[in-house]
């Protein structure tokens, strides 16, 4: 489904909208969405589980929602990503979480990733038990908010799979990003 413009699945956005509203409150959420252009507002609010929405539009909406909610955009994105990912992993993608080994779990990161984004791909390597490096390829222009959000999503996946003290630190690379992941069982 790759396009010239990076897109995010509407199934993700449907949940993220609800979580963002709950986090900042109805008044702040409604004020932020009202500040979008009519075209942006329609694309943001009318997306369905079958839609694909431009990353730039979602980032712009998240920045406005954060500002209206008096939080940083990064704080909002981390919260929304974690809660949304946890919900999706416990409902829609529950079958994919039926794994036991670290390798199988991290190996499925690209499967989870491709259900959210149409741009880039993930690979994983395991330098030691309880550690993985997850690399985003083919998205050199990943936005700062998506860079943070992807890391939060990987961390939420590890936690949902029962990995304790999961921590993920991302860093931009010329081709995309690399995420250093640590946890204990």
Looking at residue 90, what is its pLDDT? 72
Question: Using one digit for the tens of pLDDT, what is the confidence trace for 113-137?
Answer: 998 999 999 999 889 999 999 999 9
Enter the pTM of the model.
Answer: 0.91
* Distance of alpha carbon 105 from alpha carbon 30, whole angstroms: 38
Q: Residue 92: count other Cβ atoms within 10 Å of its Cβ.
A: 14
Q: Does the pLDDT at position 2 exceed 60? A: no
Do 146 and 172 contact (CB within 8 A), yes or no? no
Residue 95: CB atoms within 10 A of its CB come to: 6
Residue 102: what pLDDT?
72
Give per-residue pLDDT as tens, 62-107. 999 999 999 999 999 999 999 998 887 776 555 555 666 777 777 6
Sheet of 164-173: strand order equals 121-128, 131-137, 176-184, 164-173
pLDDT of 145 above 60: yes
pLDDT at 92: 59
109 confidence band (pLDDT: 50, 70, 90):
confident
Residue 105 has φ and ψ, to the nearest 5°, of: -65, -55
Averaged pLDDT for residues 44-67: 96
Whether 162 shows a pLDDT value over 60: the answer reads yes
């Amino acid at each position: 489904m790759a396009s010239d413009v990076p897109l995010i699945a509407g199934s993700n956005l449907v949940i993220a909208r609800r979580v963002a509203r709950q986090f900042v409150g109805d008044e702040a959420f409604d004020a932020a969405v009202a500040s979008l252009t009519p075209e942006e507002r329609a694309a943001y609010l009318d997306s369905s589980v079958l839609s694909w929405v431009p990353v730039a539009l979602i980032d712009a909406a998240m920045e406005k929602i954060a500002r209206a909610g008096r939080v940083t955009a990064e704080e909002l994105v981390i919260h929304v990503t974690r809660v949304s990912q946890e919900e999706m992993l416990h409902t829609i993608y529950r079958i994919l979480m039926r794994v036991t080994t670290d390798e199988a779990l991290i190996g499925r990161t690209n499967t989870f990733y491709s259900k959210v984004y149409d741009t880039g791909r993930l690979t994983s390597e395991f330098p030691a038990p309880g550690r993985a490096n997850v690399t985003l390829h083919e998205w050199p222009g990943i936005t700062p908010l998506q860079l943070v959000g992807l890391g939060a999503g990987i961390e939420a996946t590890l936690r949902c799979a029962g990995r304790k003290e999961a921590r993920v630190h991302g860093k931009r690379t010329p081709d995309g990003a690399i995420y250093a992941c640590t946890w204990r069982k």
